[in-house]
């Protein structure tokens, strides 16, 4: 049996460990593993190659995705999906493991309905914003990169009696900002999920400065669009010299943590097992309540992801909500 793996959408640490486990586990089961390079675009263009142990040797520690990724507008058109299907037929591929987000899963779900290609989606995005799963591949590595950056920025902020505003990624989801604020001991956390009161926050910070505080750490989620506003407010209203650091795509790279390597191995192993046990499937493997489960694409798309209320409660004092 021929089986393929592909990565789609934004890259993240943990994808390469998943790719390695895919090849190792597929060969262990006497399957013929294939790489689909360049995501959905590569599927359309026929960038499909058989994979061997040699292809994945020594890559467990590497960030990003060695088979590369893309976003594709062409895949929305039936003619290009048919071309992609014909490319798979040339290699006898009937099953796909795809690492990506909900948009990638919807694309392959349509592909499944068109041509019957079975697939399992593995949630892989640092945004951690896919409904139905508590964890997405790449999140732990991203959080650790953010932690290292904040720790370093705090050192220089303390040296110069400054405030630092650190912008995290996450699109419209504030998960990275929330967890980073909690674990870095931030004084301010601005996320889409919470209203904030700058007057109350400012009053608190001024009182702390009067009592000896020499620096401030403010974490702002990119989805709020408030980074510059918070910089200006700290500078002019709170009265402390302020610098902004936009971490950007550094959060997507880096050496995968032990947790992401382990999760990658588990996600892929269970995904292949599921594909072998089911002739026709179009599912996503999720990690919910410390258990791996398989859900439908419709379930993943049925609601918007919400951050654990317990985490939200921990940062409410940072916005005076």
pLDDT at position 63 is 95
Whether 235 is in a domain gets the answer yes
Residues 264 and 132 in one domain: yes
Q: Does residue 98 have a pLDDT over 70?
A: yes
Whether residue 105 sits in one domain with residue 11: yes
Q: What is the average pLDDT across 141-146?
A: 98
Residue 298 lies in a domain: no
Query: What is the pLDDT averaged over residues 291-305?
Result: 96
Using a cut of 0.85, tell me whether the model's pTM lies above it.
yes
pLDDT digits (tens, 9 = 90+) for 156-194: 999 999 999 999 999 999 999 999 999 999 999 999 999
**181 and 247 inside one domain:** yes
- Tell me which residue range forms the domain holding 9: 2-138+256-288
CATH number of the domain enclosing 231: 3.40.50.460
The dihedral of CA 207, 208, 210, 216: what is its sign?
Answer: negative
Same structural domain, 192 and 85: no
Residue 50 sits in the same domain as residue 106? yes
In a shared domain, residues 85 and 48: yes
d(CA 104, CA 309): 27
- Summarize pLDDT for 47-83 with one digit per residue, the tens: 999 999 999 999 999 999 999 999 999 999 999 999 9
Task: For residues 153 and 131, state if they share a domain.
Answer: no
Q: Is residue 303 part of a domain?
A: no
Q: What pLDDT score was predicted for residue 320? A: 86
CA pair distance 71, 87, nearest whole angstrom? 18
Residues 234 and 120 in one domain: no
Instruction: Report if residue 300 sits inside a domain.
Output: no
Helix or strand or coil: residue 223? helix
> Do 17 and 260 form a contact (C-beta atoms < 8 A)?
yes
Q: Is 113 in the same domain as 220?
A: no
Q: In this predicted model, what pLDDT tens digit does every residue of 242-285 receive, in sequence order?
A: 999 999 999 999 999 999 999 999 999 999 999 999 999 999 99
Q: What pLDDT is recorded for position 35?
A: 98
The answer to whether position 17 is within a domain reads yes
What confidence score (pLDDT) does residue 321 get?
Answer: 65
| 123 inside domain | yes
52 located within any domain: yes
Domain shared by 127 and 212, yes or no:
no
pLDDT value, residue 278: 96
Q: How many C-beta atoms surround the C-beta of residue 159 within 10 A?
A: 10
122 and 192 housed in the same domain:
no
Average pLDDT score over residue span 291-298: 97
88 in the same domain as 50: yes
Cα distances from 255 to residues 15, 197, 214, 234, 315, in angstroms, run 11, 38, 33, 34, 28
Q: Indicate the length of the chain as a whole number.
A: 321
- Give the CATH number for residue 101: 3.40.50.450
Does the annotation count 127 as an active-site position?
A: yes
Structural domains counted in the chain = 2
Each residue's pLDDT tens digit, 108-138? 999 999 999 999 999 999 999 999 999 999 9
CA 304 to chain centre: 15
Say if 299 falls within a structural domain.
no
Q: Which one of the listed residues 11, 38, 102, 127 is annotated catalytic? A: 127
What is the per-residue pLDDT across 181-239, written as a single tens digit (0 to 9) for each? 999 999 999 999 999 999 999 999 999 999 999 999 999 999 999 999 999 999 999 99
CB 18 within 8 A of CB 264: yes
> Helix, strand, coil shares of the chain as percentages rounded to 5?
50, 20, 30
Residues 6+ apart with CB under 8 A from 206: 238, 239
């Amino acid at each position: 049996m021929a089986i393929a793996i592909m990565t789609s959408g934004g890259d993240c640490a943990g994808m390469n460990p998943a790719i390695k486990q895919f090849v190792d586990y597929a060969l262990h089961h006497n399957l013929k593993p294939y790489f689909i390079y360049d995501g959905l675009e590569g599927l359309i263009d026929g960038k499909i190659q058989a994979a061997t142990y040699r292809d994945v040797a020594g890559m467990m520690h590497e960030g990003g995705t060695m088979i590369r990724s893309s976003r594709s507008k062409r895949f929305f058109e039936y003619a290009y999906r048919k071309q992609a299907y014909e490319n798979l037929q040339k290699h006898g591929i009937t099953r796909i493991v795809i690492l990506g987000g909900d948009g990638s899963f919807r694309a392959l779900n349509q592909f499944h309905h068109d041509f019957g290609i079975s697939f399992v989606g593995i949630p892989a995005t640092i945004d951690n914003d896919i409904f139905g799963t508590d964890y997405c591949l790449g999140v732990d590595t991203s959080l650790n990169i953010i932690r290292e950056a904040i720790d370093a920025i705090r050192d220089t902020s303390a040296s110069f009696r400054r405030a630092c505003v650190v912008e995290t990624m996450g699109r419209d989801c504030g998960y990275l900002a929330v967890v980073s604020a909690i674990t870095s001991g931030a004084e301010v956390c601005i996320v889409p999920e919470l209203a904030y009161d700058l007057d109350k926050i400012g009053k608190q910070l001024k009182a702390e400065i009067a009592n000896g505080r020499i620096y401030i750490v403010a974490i702002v989620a990119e989805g709020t669009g408030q980074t510059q506003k918070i910089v200006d407010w700290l500078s002019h209203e709170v009265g402390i010299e302020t610098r902004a650091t936009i971490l950007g795509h550094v959060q997507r790279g880096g050496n995968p943590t032990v947790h992401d390597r382990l999760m990658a191995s588990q996600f892929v192993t269970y995904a292949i097992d599921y594909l072998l046990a089911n002739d026709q499937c179009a599912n996503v493997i999720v990690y919910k309540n410390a258990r791996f489960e398989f859900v439908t694409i419709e379930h993943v798309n049925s609601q918007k992801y919400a951050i654990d209320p317990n985490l939200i409660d921990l940062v409410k004092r940072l916005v005076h909500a």
